[in-house]
Chains A and B, each alone.
Chain A
């Protein structure tokens, strides 16, 4: 039996406490009104408002735009978006009261036309500026929410990835892995608290406490409103808060139920007379994998892709899957190495670690394959309505967007390709830390551009949220590991697993 070391427990509490402080700080520091934002912007880029408006325009695509804009060439997305926004605002507010412009041009009657357009343009600027400030306000108010959301979904999906890996091991009747089943069961224990917090976050979004999901705003699908968005309106059959929360509840309940049954049968097998609990788990694994692949796809549309409701990609579900699957396997390897180093897993040898490292390596490449396939297809055809997704990312997230390729692909490729290296604890742990960080950045890149746009920063709210969920993860997982013996007793494949050598 494993005993939770008091040092690790204290460490996890410290992480959670610091994390809560960071999260609260993030919420308190978010601006409340447009005036706050104006002050913030004036402090940071004084005198560059116009340039800033221009720069931020592609972001506007996501929130307040008319359907027609999607037809313009990519290079001009910024400009045309800008124009569209101007037109809509002009229609609703026709007031020309700019004094300086009037004085300057009024002296010459010949320039009346000019004057009109000029002052009109100035009025546009005023309105545009206000719209821009409101836009930045939403982004900054989203920041602490998005930071929380990214960290929450990342850690929850790690436990889901481990659950999928566990089910695959059962369904494939793998001979090497039963020795690691209890470690995997411990990690999936995080699924329950993780998914409860996550569901509460989704409910918070559904209650309009934040602007994470643009389509949740009822104004957006109201044809009478200035915020009306035809594209979202056409998708409202799927994108409705009730359907969204209902699907999320069903998916999370089934995942948690399956996890509960898996662990129950696994423990029952320890004391069983025959292999009945094992067989039940085998069948459950087969059922779960079918359910999982469907639910995983749906959850990737709902929880991740729908932050960009104008954009869609068919292989997105697989891409998200590869990301958290490799993170899950990495966490299995790291926790196994930790327990092994504390002397708890005497039957785990370097061959088991080698196999896990091979999975880390292989699935990292698989992730890259999907990332590149998605990116290259969209880059190559350059269809404006699809490519804005990557345009905003490359423009505002250059370092995280391409940096994660180094972390998630180049680094594991060069380090984990060597057979001898895959058996060395420090190499696997180092690669594991890099891969986990890289996939956090991956989720960051999926959520942030649509929610906070170019206002992103990995600061106190983001690190705080990460620390809180890391602390919770460590606490829950290692508490769960104390609940059952670390070596399953009567698993039909356990002897083979104990003597596994590669």
Chain B
């Protein structure tokens, strides 16, 4: 319950936040909504000398809806994702998934950037962003670079982000009109990470399929996506079952997770197809 002491910083622009990160190296970490980091600090699984609060950095906020692309500031909260009607019209799967994350209080604080940058395979947004073929803007001492969501995750809590970089924005291509979307999640109760969850987009001769918490990273499968694009549902499920690598934990043994994964995927496919134009 009681975190270790730290020095607190609240910069008002990204450059200042990065210079504090550079000054303190491993000893410093940024805090966004704080709803993964603070629980870890309370259990003393994270012990930091410097905490850099991003809440006053305006350039990391806001949702921009363009004709071809949606841009989310990394500090946009789950609550803001859910209540933004323009976003729900452009990319409805985001609201559908965000409503399956955590609970109301956590969604007021937890941010989309924190969710995708955290690196916990339990988080829902990483798989969703891979399904959507989103890309992440990272700003560091040497400037700005962009990494595809599909290239970002290396292992549990290991991502392509360097220690001195901050994720500032998420860019999402707007799916074509008539592309059906669905996020289907099996969990033990409200607020639980998924036993298995599937993000599916299908329609207009294309498809994209990703799954959550069935390996030490989210899993986007090119083979499963190609099969679904050809409307080969069983081929899609078989390819995805081949791509995942779940481990036994208190959500169940490996065989059960594979069973649930197939069910979630089939349900998400059915719902996405029913929504496709």
Q: Specify whether A and B are partners.
A: no
Which of B's residues lie within 8 Å of A, judged by CB?
none
